[in-house]
Amino acid sequence: MRFTEVLKLACESIWSHKLRSGLTLLGLVIGITAVAVIVSLIQGFNAYVDEKIAGIGSNAFTIRRFGFDDLLDTDALLAAQRRNKDLTLEDFEHLRAHAKMSGVGAKAMPTSSQLRRDLRIVFGTSVEGATANCAELEGIDVADGRYFVPAEDETAKRVAFIGDGVARKLFGHNPAVDREIKINGIPYRVVGVAAARGAVFGVSQDDFVTIPLTTYANNFGSLKRHRALYLVAKARSDETFAEAVEEARVLLRARRRLGPGEKDNFGIITPDAIKGVRDRVLGPVYVVAVAVPSISLAVGGIVIMNVMLVSVGERTKEIGLRKALGARRRDILKQFLVEAVVLSACGGLAGVVLAWVGSRLVDAYFFPSYLSLLAVGLAFAVSSVIGMLSGAFPAWKAARLDPIEALHVE
């Protein structure tokens, strides 16, 4: 029997029992959808992190009070809190004066503030301080106007660089550059608007204001605790990145008079460290996230096997007649095996379609997802294997039926 005929018979059998086939595939569809969505989320999140790192630059790093090693557990954190000191402007000036890297900038942790323009008020907006060279070091895209310049930072000018979300909330579709806004009641002149960044986990990345670091210290208070200072540094090239990181470490250790056996009392955050923490922390989560929905795949396979066994019982006389007319065991085996595979493949297709819809919703409201060919191929491969395994025994049982006994079944 040709494969096309077998495939036609399988499709006709599935179509003649549409409701039963749909209910049979429900567990498999849910499992395939869940696995495909989770794989797309994992790939999308990893790609998002890599994209953000690439946007800043693989040769950029930050220096903070704490490093990732200080946050491994409670004991490490408590020890780091006793040992590590807040970074200071003197640390920044020391690095900027002696480091041979591409550049060193300074930023202060953001403060939640009230923004106002005429009768429009926005609450809880993130306002941070930064030196003028942070735009270049962090690769900030400017949609309109400009970033503030060193002279405005040195003289503590009240100028502001705002996110696209802030511009839309305060100015609508009107130009924002050279207009005035008030931050906690203090007037600032807008000098530029950042390019839109979108949202992550439903939180907008465009609701921020950046002002000169000196202005920030004057108007918001000392750069300590929740306004702690951190440094942004950039190597001249990828090849000199390791040297730049080591240079920054040596200069800070020397300034803080740390002995050879003493641990760093600051943290250096590199792109590789970020990726390492992501993989170390989320790796087990990924495994569990994929494994749990896979249980429904096993359930779906059992349901398909059960339905195929019922189908063999219902079609015993048909099988006997086909054998009496010359059908061989392998023809019967092939017929029921193909039927199980086609049934599960339909479930895989439905699961991929639902996964695509789910990934688009996640993409719209949370963070970019990526339904790759790997996820689609994996869904079809898994569904086909499940169909083959769950249909093997019913097909084998159908092929071994005695044609004389089968014909006598009422």
Would you state the pLDDT for residue 215? 96
Q: Output phi, psi for 329, to 5 deg.
A: -60, -40
Structure confidence by residue, pLDDT tens digits, 29-83:
777 777 777 777 777 777 766 666 555 556 888 999 998 888 777 888 888 888 9
> For residue 410, with 0-12 CB atoms within 10 Å meaning exposed, 13-18 middle and 19 or more buried, which class applies?
exposed
How big, in percent rounded to 5, are the helix, strand and coil portions of the chain?
Answer: 60, 15, 25
Burial class (CB in 10 A: 0-12, 13-18, 19+), 229: buried
pLDDT in tens, 294-345: 676 677 677 777 776 666 665 666 666 666 656 666 666 676 677 777 777 7
**For residues 308 and 394, is the Cβ–Cβ distance under 8 A?**
yes
* Nearest C-alpha neighbor of 223 from the set 345, 109, 57, 115: 109
| Average pLDDT, integer, range 18-27 | 70
Tens of pLDDT, residue by residue over 281-302, are 667 766 766 666 667 667 767 7
Handedness of CA 80, 82, 83, 89 (dihedral sign): positive
CA dihedral over 376, 378, 381, 387, signed as positive or negative: negative
Hey, what amino acid is at 342? V
The set of residues, in sequence order, having a beta carbon less than 8 Å from that of 380 and lying 6+ positions away, is 345, 348, 349, 352
Q: 154-202, pLDDT tens digit by residue?
A: 999 999 999 999 999 999 989 999 999 999 999 999 999 999 887 665 6
Q: Is the pLDDT of residue 27 over 50?
A: yes
SS3 248: helix
pLDDT band at 237 (very low <50, low <70, confident <90, very high): confident
Q: Which of 91-105, 193-207, 353-367 has the lowest mean pLDDT?
A: 353-367
Which band of pLDDT confidence, cut at 50, 70 and 90, is reported for residue 375?
Answer: low
